A = this chain, B = another copy of it.
Amino acid sequence: MGSVDRRILKTREAIKKAFFELMAQKDFESITVQLISERANLNRGTFYLHYLDKFDLLDKCIEEQFNELLRVCAAQGHDQTHVPTFESLLSTTEYFEEHFLFYSCMLNSKGMPSFRDRMHQLMVEGIRDQLNMDDINKGLNKEILVQFMASAIVGIVEWWIYNKMPVPASELARELWALLERNQIHK
């Protein structure tokens, strides 16, 4: 799959770059396809060769970002189960740090109420697969614990991003690790 025409990759990169730059300046609804095309320095028609409209572009950007996130989360677990280790947790907080701009835009922007939901859903599915119901979790409803943890984790990330990362990624990872430990999400 490395055989996509160079021009296509370059064009898509330029569009996404322009889009993110604009997202950092103004809110989603006031961004137009025209603006994106101008900033990306390409013809407006070219935009429509790759995306249906700006909503489709946003969708694909989020999709891509989430795939990257999942890749980082699972970077350790290879053919093992995807139960997190402290290392994978640290990679993940560092990933958020690195993509601060993106998540900051998405979580802050009033025009993006759906983003938080999608992230929450992603987390629910991730945790549902990983949670083991032994020992201290016996007698609890699993789905309730899943929802509880997902909301908590998304909330923490949201807080961290929204407050411009008031603690370093490493500390956040340590704190999260302790919280996961207490709730039996890891080994």
The chain A residues found within 8 Å of chain B, CB to CB, are: 6, 10, 41-43
Q: What's the Cα separation between A43 and B5 when bound, in Å?
A: 11
Q: What's the Cα separation between A41 and B6 when bound, in Å?
A: 8
Tell me how far the C-beta of A36 lies from the nearest C-beta in chain B, rounded to whole angstroms: 15
Q: What's the Cα separation between A41 and B41 when bound, in Å?
A: 17
Contacts of A10 in B (CB 8 A): 41
Tell me how far the C-beta of A9 lies from the nearest C-beta in chain B, rounded to whole angstroms: 9
Nearest B residue (CB) for A46: B6
Q: Can you offer 4 A-B residue contacts whose CB atoms are under 8 A? A: A6-B41, A6-B42, A6-B43, A10-B41
Contacts of A43 in B (CB 8 A): 6
Contacts of A41 in B (CB 8 A): 6, 10
Q: What's the Cα separation between A42 and B10 when bound, in Å?
A: 10
Q: What's the Cα separation between A6 and B37 when bound, in Å?
A: 12
Nearest B residue (CB) for A43: B6
Give the 3 A-B residue pairs with the shortest CB-CB distance, closest first.
A6-B41, A10-B41, A6-B42
Tell me how far the C-beta of A18 lies from the nearest C-beta in chain B, rounded to whole angstroms: 14
Q: What's the Cα separation between A41 and B8 when bound, in Å?
A: 12
Contacts of A42 in B (CB 8 A): 6
Q: What's the Cα separation between A157 and B145 when bound, in Å?
A: 71
